[in-house]
Amino acid sequence: MFRVHKKVNYVVLDKGFLNDTRLSWKAKGLLAYMLSLPDDWSFCISDLATHSKCSRESTANTVKELTKAGYINKMQRRTNKGKFRKVELFVFETPQAEPDSDNPISDKPLMENPLTVNPQTEKPSLLINNKSLNNNLLNNENNYRTYPLGENLPKLQTAFQFYEDNGFGSLAAHVTFKIGHWIDDLSEGLVIHAMKRAVENNVLRWNYVEKILRDWTNKKLKTIEEVEADKHRFEAKKQQRQQRTHRSNLQVRKEVVPEWFHQRHENVEQAIDFEAERQKILETLRGVAESAR
């Protein structure tokens, strides 16, 4: 493995495998993840599967793809007594036509009953190879970047560049693997579109982006047009609910005004006339009383 310089959450990789058109995005992501681990780090396929949403079978098939392309070599060592040890898979940044010359044991050892290597059932260990370190890279800043991007790989670079340029943070190896997986499952355009949604909602976290992608997967949305149509349907329903609520709040209660309210002035006038008549009657009575005396 080529390892020139490493900081926290950064890894330096040869970008050659990112330009290898024989590999799927999933294979490129898995290879980037494995190469980000420390030199001579040992792990198995089941362990790899726990670091992504892929099943063990899917991960094993991806390992087989990398093996076929020459990025993983199957080797089997002998003990001091000449017995064969377990099968090991060595991971390389560049395709290897032949096994490492320091370990010249092929995956078909010369024995009466040759051993059949099957990564899906035997759970072989995977080892990161560190025999090909090129120290000349240490003095050439143009030969590497601090994240696994290829200058001549616009699709992968676009997704990763958007991730970095919009505040999601530094590119870690597990994010590289997950983005590659989602590009394989959906498309690069949808992955970028999901990150744009996260930016619009001001939630700059990769797990939020994955939540959006899972929602689209559950709805079987496979294009940006379908995603936008689903968004418009949601917004239209939301607007209809808001309009119904607004109309109900604007309803004015009509009160029936009683008849006496309109006649109140007339009643006042009638009361004044009645009082005048009363005074007249009282005066008449007083006059009668005085006459009677």
For the residues 28-33, what does the mean pLDDT come to?
87
Full set of structural domains in the chain with CATH: 15-150 (1.10.10)
Please spell the DSSP secondary structure of the chain, one letter per residue: -------TT-----GGGGG-TTS-HHHHHHHHHHHHSPTT-EE-HHHHHTTSSS-HHHHHHHHHHHHHHTSEEEEEEE-TTS-EEEEEEEE-SS--SS--TTS---SS-SSSSPPPP-HHHH--EEEE--S---GGGGG-GGG--SSS--TT-HHHHHHHHHHHHTTS----HHHHHHHHHHHHHS-HHHHHHHHHHHHHTT---HHHHHHHHHHHHHTT--SHHHHHHHHHHHHHHHHHHHHHHHHHHHPPPPPPPPHHHHTHHHHHHHHHHHHHHHHHHHHHHHHHHHHH-
Return the higher-pLDDT residue of 246 and 64. 64
pLDDT tens digits, residue range 223-270?
Answer: 999 999 998 998 888 888 887 776 766 665 556 667 766 666 655 555
Q: How confident is the model at residue 169 (pLDDT cuts 50, 70, 90)?
A: confident
Does residue 101 register a pLDDT over 70?
A: no
pLDDT value for 132: 36
Rounded to two decimals, the pTM is 0.38
pLDDT tens digits, residue range 175-194?
Answer: 877 888 888 788 888 999 99
Top-confidence range, 120-134, 137-151, 208-222, 274-288:
208-222
For the residues 111-131, what does the mean pLDDT come to?
39
